[in-house]
Amino acid sequence: MERRTFLQQSTLAGISALTFGGAATAAAAETRQGAAQKTFNLDYAPHAGMFKNSAGDDFLDQIRFMHDQGFRSIEDNGMLGRETALQNKIGDLLAKLNMRMGVFVIDGGENWKVSLTTGKKEHLDVFLKTCERSVELAKRVNAKWATVVPGFFERKLPIGVQTGHVIDALRRGSEILEKGGLTMVLEPLSDTPELFLRTSDQTYMICRAVNSPSCKILYDIYHMQKNEGQLIPNIDLCWDEIAYIQIGDNPGRKEPGTGEINYRNVFKHLYNKGYKGVMGMEHGNAKPGKEGEQALIKAYRDSDNFL
């Protein structure tokens, strides 16, 4: 083969490869963009590990996968304990993808043991110090909400005195959080009867007493179904103080459609009320592996199909 012919053929082959490669890259980008456009009617927020079989162990890769599936928020209870460098990377990635940061937990390391009901100064100091740390974290990841649980009952004190201690502590915490633009969301729980905060109306009363824009309700549908039922009526009663919602079916605390709650109706009710906040997916996966993760996404597509 003459040198001239060889060079012409090599050049054409190179151009063809570049064209094909460019087309493949463009197609991949188009596919990714198309997937990313399939958002939901409400803003559901997965958490770390929920899609690890599909996206790998790296939390940043998991966030990218969540975005590709149409999710536009995340939540991470343990964010306060992550290294600062990773917090910064998470914040940068969320900003790049135009995603919101949902709740993390203001726990001081001993959320279940340090009880604000006691009125003890050492417990209050831990709480306030953690509020200060939380404001700094919120700046890194652009967080607007953080979960607070007041702790256990103090059985040696009357319930009214315990409630007074909790209100005093939350007022002090709210003063710190207001300056940082962060809202604590109080979560009534069903994990154990020893927990002080148990129902939505009790939480409503405390929020009204604290009287701060930085102290609102986290209405976890799973916990409230277990503790009080009457989901839609109780949501309406407490609506003015609800700032954040979490999801989990009962029994089992898995994705919608695996238990007794009619999530399509609940989601439709929240949508019709104009809820624009984050819907935290604080539950496990009903099935293992990639298949279970795809089933979870489908469950949300089905429950979100209420229009």
In angstroms, how far is CA 222 from the centroid of its own chain?
14
Helices in the chain by DSSP H: which ranges? 3-36, 52-55, 59-68, 84-97, 121-141, 159-179, 200-210, 221-227, 231-237, 263-272, 289-303
How many Å apart are CA 271 and CA 29, to the nearest integer?
Answer: 32
Checking phi first, is residue 252 left (phi over 0); if not, alpha (psi -120 to 50) or beta? left
Considering all CA atoms of the chain, what is the largest pairwise distance in Å, rounded to the nearest integer? Answer: 100
Q: Tokens 């939901």, residue?
A: 40
Q: How far is CA 212 from CA 53, 83, 219, 246, 256, in A?
A: 41, 30, 18, 22, 33
Residues with active-site annotation: 187, 282
Tokens of 225: 């179904």
Give residue 207's identity as a one-letter amino acid code.
C
Angle at 148 between CA 145 and CA 153, to 5 degrees: 165
Residue 268, CB-side half-sphere exposure with 13 Å CA sphere: 9
Q: Which residues contact 162 (CB under 8 A, 6 or more apart)?
A: 117, 118, 153, 154, 196
Contact 277, 243 (CB under 8 A): yes
